[in-house]
Structure 1
Amino acid sequence: MKIWVDADGCPVVKITIEEAKKHSVPLVVVKNHAVRIEDDYAKIVTVDVTRDAADYYIVNHMEKGDLVITQDNGLSAMALAKDGKILNQNGRWITNDNIELILESRHISQKERMKKKKSYTKFKKREKTKDDNFRRELVSFIENI
Structure 2
Amino acid sequence: MTTPPQAIEIYIDADACPVKPEIYRVAERHRTPVFVVANSFINVPRDPLIERVLVGAGFDAADDWIAERARRGAIVVTADIPLASRCVKAGADVIGPTGRPFTEASIGMALATRNLMEDLRAMGDVSGGPRPFSPRDRSAFLSALDVAIVRLKRAGFSSGAP
Q: Are 2:116 and 1:108 equivalent residues in the alignment?
A: yes
Mapped partners of 2:132, 2:105: distance in 1: 30
Aligned pair in 2 of structure 1 residues 24, 113: CA closer, same or farther (>3 Å)?
same
Unaligned runs of 5+ in 2: 1-7, 154-162
Q: Between the two proteins, what is the percent identity of the paired residues?
A: 25
Mapped partners of 2:93, 2:134: distance in 1: 24
Alignment of 1:31-42 (within 5 A): 31-33=38-40, 35-41=41-47, 42=50
TM norm structure 1: 0.90
* Superimposed CA distance per residue, residues 41-98 of structure 1 (whole angstroms, 9 cap, x where no aligned partner): 2111011232211110011123322110100001011111111110110001100101
TM norm structure 2: 0.81
Aligned to 1:84: 92
Q: Which structure's CA Rg is the greater one?
A: 2
* Superimposed CA distance per residue, residues 16-58 of structure 1 (whole angstroms, 9 cap, x where no aligned partner): 011101110111110111x422222211101123221111001
Q: Are 2:36 and 1:29 equivalent residues in the alignment?
A: yes
Aligned to 1:137: 144
Mapped partners of 1:108, 1:124: distance in 2: 17
Name the amino acid aligned to 1:139. D
- Report the number of matched residues: 143
Mapped partners of 2:143, 2:126: distance in 1: 36
Unaligned runs of 5+ in 1: none
Aligned to 2:55: 47
Name the amino acid aligned to 2:30. H
CA RMSD of aligned residues (A): 1.8
